[in-house]
Amino acid sequence: MKKTLLTATLILASTPAFAKEYTIKEVTDDNAKKQNFFSPDKLTIQPGDTVTFVNAQDTPHEVMFINVPKAVDAMIMSPMHEKKGDSFSYTFTIPGTYKFHCHPHEALGMDGTLIVGKPSKPGQTKAVDHHKMAKKLEGGSDSDHHHAATSTTKD
């Protein structure tokens, strides 16, 4: 009985009891000053929380994380979201500052920042060269750096 109680306590202590889910919309608004943007474009969450990026309309968007805490060893990116309702979810477990952008709208300033726990201090993040990484992935090498995330397409 004591062994079962101890095991149950350890399992509960190791899982995030209050993990939350957040949504960030990928928006195109031709009437806005900044026509392509994430809403919200800044978000603070806790380790264990999940963020889902959802395409708000039928304009193609893609999410690529371009700066992450040094302890992150995966390339975090979504597939192309071509239709309204296409989504990409990721559960963040490593605290720090994450910066991301929409690759097709990178030059138009469609970017955002996600803080997990507390912001990274100078020198605690690294740039992710997704252009270089994508070339490696296309060649079939270093493929275990591409993080498998949940992506859904809504018809």
What is the domain-level CATH number for residue 50? Answer: 2.60.40.420
Query: Residue 108 above 60 pLDDT?
Result: yes
Q: What is the pLDDT of residues 48-68, one digit of tens each?
A: 999 999 999 999 999 999 999
Tally the domains of the chain.
1
Is there a domain that residue 59 lies in?
Answer: yes
pLDDT at 2: 56
pLDDT at 3: 56
Is there a domain that residue 3 lies in?
Answer: no
Residues of the domain holding 126: 18-152
Is there a domain that residue 90 lies in?
Answer: yes
pLDDT at 85: 97
CB atoms within 10 A of CB 57: 13
Query: Residue 36 above 80 pLDDT?
Result: yes
Inter-residue contact 86 to 52 (CB < 8 Å): no
Is there a domain that residue 7 lies in?
Answer: no
Q: What is the pLDDT of residues 63-80, one digit of tens each?
A: 999 999 999 998 999 999
Q: For residue 6, what pLDDT band results from cuts at 50, 70 and 90?
A: very low
Query: Residue 138 above 70 pLDDT?
Result: no
pTM summary value: 0.76
- Which residues are CB-contacts of 26 (< 8 A; sequence separation ≥ 6)? 38, 53, 54, 55, 56, 61, 63, 81, 102
Query: Residue 153 above 90 pLDDT?
Result: no
pLDDT at 18: 86
Lowest mean pLDDT among 16-20, 56-60, 117-121, 132-136: 132-136
- Which residues are CB-contacts of 145 (< 8 A; sequence separation ≥ 6)? 73, 74, 75, 133, 136, 137
* Residue 4 exposed, middle or buried by CB count within 10 Å (0-12, 13-18, 19+): exposed
Mean pLDDT of 104-120: 96
